[in-house]
Amino acid sequence: MQALFDITHTLFTAWGYKVSPLELLGTSTGLACVWLTAREKVLCWPVGIANIVFFFVLFYQHRLYSDMFLQVYFLATSLYGWWKWTHPAPAEENRRHELRITRLRAGRLALIAAGCAIAVAALGTLVGRLHAIVPAVFPEPAAFPYADTAVAVASVAAQFIMARKKIECWLFWIGVDILATAIYFLKGINLLAIEYAVFGCIALYGFLGWRREMRSYETEGAPA
């Protein structure tokens, strides 16, 4: 069991890259979660919770502290999203009696974007100093504190918007996936980097699929 959660343990080697069981489990459950979300399947939430556990341990061992802290938030919002998708108000139901897809108001979207920019500036500075503030917990400096924080902050926004089933969540996820792919390649977490590149493609697919679904409500004469 200890080897399962140790990034130094090699399960197999692919093209010279050593893959740990932890990275493989995180990658597999992450891909499954995003695909299920793009397909608007409620099962995405319990699969996502399993993914959160694996990634929490993985990010701690790689010193990507912003991503590690992010998993705690993901757990809370995953439980909320699971409940929200399956317990919509009558006016918010789709044909499957689940939460229907809607858009964010323009003003609220602008407010979220501005809040993300401020949070990246503030939290990036804090994360960059964690090794000096609490060296016993974080013995080495954080890697890419601002870029990693941008991934975390945008993911926070995207996850909450997704829990409310707002189509704009996919635009946030596409941005996250592009930045995360670059960070993980630079850190040498190659399998995870490839996964995030795939995530970007699935996010685009999810956006297009959700848009088609949302337009079908209008065809039925239901409010979007």
- More confident call, 194 vs 203: 203
Domain that residue 104 falls in: 3-220
Query: Using 50, 70 and 90 to split pLDDT, how confident is the model at 223?
Result: very low
Looking at the chain, how many residues does it have?
A: 224
Q: Give the whole-angstrom CA distance, residue 7 versus residue 57.
A: 9
Q: Is the pTM of this model over 0.85?
A: no
Identify the pLDDT of residue 222: 45
- The 10s digit of each residue's pLDDT in 75-134 is 999 999 999 999 998 888 888 889 999 999 989 999 999 999 999 999 899 988 888 888
Count structural domains, the chain: 1
Radius of gyration of the chain (CA): 18
Residue pair 54/25 in contact (Cβ under 8 Å)? The answer is yes
Q: Tell me which residue has tokens 């009558």.
A: 90
Rounded distance, CA 213 to CA 215, Å?
5
